[in-house]
Amino acid sequence: MNAIPTESPATTHDTAGTTGAELDLQREAITALGYELRALVDATVRTAAPTEVLHRITDEVRLLRGQLTGRRRTRAEIPAVDEFPGEIRMYSPVTGAGSPLAPPMQVTADSGGAVGRCTLGIAHEGPPGYGHGGMSAMLLDELMGRACIAAGLPGMTVSLQVRYRRPVPLETPLWVHARVTGTEGRKVFVDGSISTEDDPSAVVVTADGVFVTPDPDRTRALFPDLR
């Protein structure tokens, strides 16, 4: 679900006393760690290393995990490095530069919508050599939500209909497109598609979705940490 509140300005959490330069340095460090973690995940899902090597690496990763000390944020807490609502989501599983799960997709606003570019790796595999269908749905859900924002109609996903025309190839640059097609009260209707960069006219996945702008009371209930 792509959740975007509407009544509050973009905000970060617990950033009192933090300068813009310090925040930039923190994001750079998170981005660098995210890159290495994605490379580690890729190596992990590709490896044919013997059992003893896997056990040794497991012990080393466990030691590394122990170095991530300090307070851990709670489930609903907005990361200090994020802007929410906004476009900076460092740990998003779709666009987050700090996420070991994300492709990550690079998003730009387009007239009446949004465009994303990413490459799915072996960690996103469904059938051998092709992306998992759930990844396609997640890419589209994210970008369709961004299209709502670009149109000045931020909202939350309430319906997403995905049609798989052909398999999505891994390790192949992809284009993801989304645009708002209409509104009805608080409902926003959005279309989306995925194609390869080599052949953008050959659409491999399409979707249509309905997003709803939440009212202020619902927004406060869903996101109690939002100031």
- Please state, in angstroms and rounded to a whole number, the distance separating the CA atoms of residues 58 and 40: 12
Tens of pLDDT, residues 181-199: 999 999 999 999 999 999 9
Please tell me whether residue 139 adopts helix, strand or coil conformation: helix
- CB–CB of 21/29 below 8 Å? no
Please tell me whether residue 60 adopts helix, strand or coil conformation: helix
What's the pLDDT score for residue 14?
52
Tens of pLDDT, residues 46-102: 999 999 999 999 999 999 999 998 889 988 888 999 987 777 999 999 999 999 999
Closest alpha carbon to 3 in 178, 107, 157 = 157
What pTM was computed for the model? 0.88
Tens of pLDDT, residues 113-125: 999 999 999 999 9
The alpha-carbon radius of gyration of the chain (Å, integer) is: 19
What's the pLDDT score for residue 217?
82
Residue 166: pLDDT band (50, 70, 90) is: very high
- Tracing tokens 């300068």 back to the chain, one arrives at 19
Indicate if the pLDDT at residue 169 is higher than 60: yes
